[in-house]
Structures are given as structure tokens and as C-alpha cells.
């Protein structure tokens, strides 16, 4: 920057967006030693108890899709907290919502993807008729930690011949390096 030149200033719209993000962050609950000693659990469900924060979250998520993932044709939400935010985004954008559930929770013909967790294996499933071949799908979840379930969900959509165009999460725990596991663009609203 040239000496004497004014620093660029944020627009009113950008300031409002930053205020909403601060409100969201302030309303994420912190629970030490859950689910085990030494873990600081970040609970996004606490946002739902504060209507102003919940409204801000909806607005920020929808705006993020409109700006960063414009080609989205469907929203896929991960069990269970992706179910809380995914349908809200899908409804606002007037596009379908696809639930991605833990094994054994969906009726009908399903496709399964197993993945390794810290203490063993788990699996996610999707109903086969949920994904149209070539559909451009944005996956949403509340939190990115190690990236296992989100990566497995990306693989699952690909198995069903859909195209994952990106992932959107409310919060990201950066020191767990989950982003490195995700094979598509990822956007997080809040970073820790």
C-alpha cells in the first residue's frame, strides 16, 4: 500500500456479515471433557436456542451457498446435525435435501460407505433413489474435526454417480487437519 493511502474499508454488508459470524461463534457452546477427558466439545446445537443467532446462521449459510457454491442443485446433510441446517438451506434455495444417515437408519435400497474413526469403524448410507446421476450436491454438516464422516459422505455421493461440488460446515477445528481429508472445496463459517 502506498504511504498516505487510506486502508480499504469493509462495506456495510461485509460488516453485517462479520457481526453475524461473531454472533454465531458466541453462541456455540463449549463443554470441557466431553465426550472424554481432555476434549473441548464445541456444540452447535446451542445456536438453536437463540433465535437471533439461529436466524444469523441461516442467513450466513444461504449467502455462502449463493456466493461460493452457485451451481448447487441439491443439499446433502450428514446425520445428525447436518439434518438441522441442510433442510433450512435447501428450502430457502428451493432445491432438494438428501439425508445421509448412519448405517441401518434408512429404508429401501441403500448404498453404504465405511470409514475409520478414532476408535473403530462406522458407516454412512444414502437411499439409492435420492441421487440423480450427475447431480451437483453440496454436503453440509455442523463441525469438521478429523474429516472422516465428511470424506466418507463425499465417496458415498460419488458411488451413487452424483457430483460433490463442495462441503459447508458451521465450525472447523483446524488443528485436527480434517480439511486435508476432503477432496472438494470446503467452506467453514467459524474456525478454531
pLDDT tens-digit profile of 42-80?
A: 999 999 999 999 999 999 999 999 999 999 999 999 999
Could you tell me whether strands 186-191 and 163-172 are parallel, antiparallel, or unpaired per DSSP bridges? parallel
Which residue among 42, 81, 113, 125 is the active-site one? Answer: 81
- Give the pLDDT confidence of 134-160 residue by residue, as tens digits: 999 999 999 999 999 999 999 999 999
In a domain, 60, yes or no: yes
- With cut-offs at 50, 70 and 90, classify the pLDDT of residue 120: confident
Q: Establish whether 103 is a catalytic residue.
A: no
Q: Is residue 5 part of a domain?
A: no
pLDDT reported for residue 34: 94
Total number of domains in the chain: 1
Catalytic residue among 3, 13, 71, 118: 118
The CATH number of whichever domain residue 95 belongs to comes to 3.40.50.2020
pLDDT of 4 reads 54
Specify burial of residue 72 (Cβ count, 10 A radius: 0-12, 13-18, 19+).
buried
Please tell me whether the overall predicted TM-score, pTM, comes out greater than 0.75 for this model: yes
In the annotation, is 81 catalytic?
yes
Domain assignment present for 7:
no
Query: What phi-psi label fits residue 183: left (phi over 0), alpha (psi between -120 and 50 degrees) or beta?
Result: alpha
Cα–Cα dist 111/96, whole Å? 19
161 part of a folded domain: yes
Amino acid at each position: 500500500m502506498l504511504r498516505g493511502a487510506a486502508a480499504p474499508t469493509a462495506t456495510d454488508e461485509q460488516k453485517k456479515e462479520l457481526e453475524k459470524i461473531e454472533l454465531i461463534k458466541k453462541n456455540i457452546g463449549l463443554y470441557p471433557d466431553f465426550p472424554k477427558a481432555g476434549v473441548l466439545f464445541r456444540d452447535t446445537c446451542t445456536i438453536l436456542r437463540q433465535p437471533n443467532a439461529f436466524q444469523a446462521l441461516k442467513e450466513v449459510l444461504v449467502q455462502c451457498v449463493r456466493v461460493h457454491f452457485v451451481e448447487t442443485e441439491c443439499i446433502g446433510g450428514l446425520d445428525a446435525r447436518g439434518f438441522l441446517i441442510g433442510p433450512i438451506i435447501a428450502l430457502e434455495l428451493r432445491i432438494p435435501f438428501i439425508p445421509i444417515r448412519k448405517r441401518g437408519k434408512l429404508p429401501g435400497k441403500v448404498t453404504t460407505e465405511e470409514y475409520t474413526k478414532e476408535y473403530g469403524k462406522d458407516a454412512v448410507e444414502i437411499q439409492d433413489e435420492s441421487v440423480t446421476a450427475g447431480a451437483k450436491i453440496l454436503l453440509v454438516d455442523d463441525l469438521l474435526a478429523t474429516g472422516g464422516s465428511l470424506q466418507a459422505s463425499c465417496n458415498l455421493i460419488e458411488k451413487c454417480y452424483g457430483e460433490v461440488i463442495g462441503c459447508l460446515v458451521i465450525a472447523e477445528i483446524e488443528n485436527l487437519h480434517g480439511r486435508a481429508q476432503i477432496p472438494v472445496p470446503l467452506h467453514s463459517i467459524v474456525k478454531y
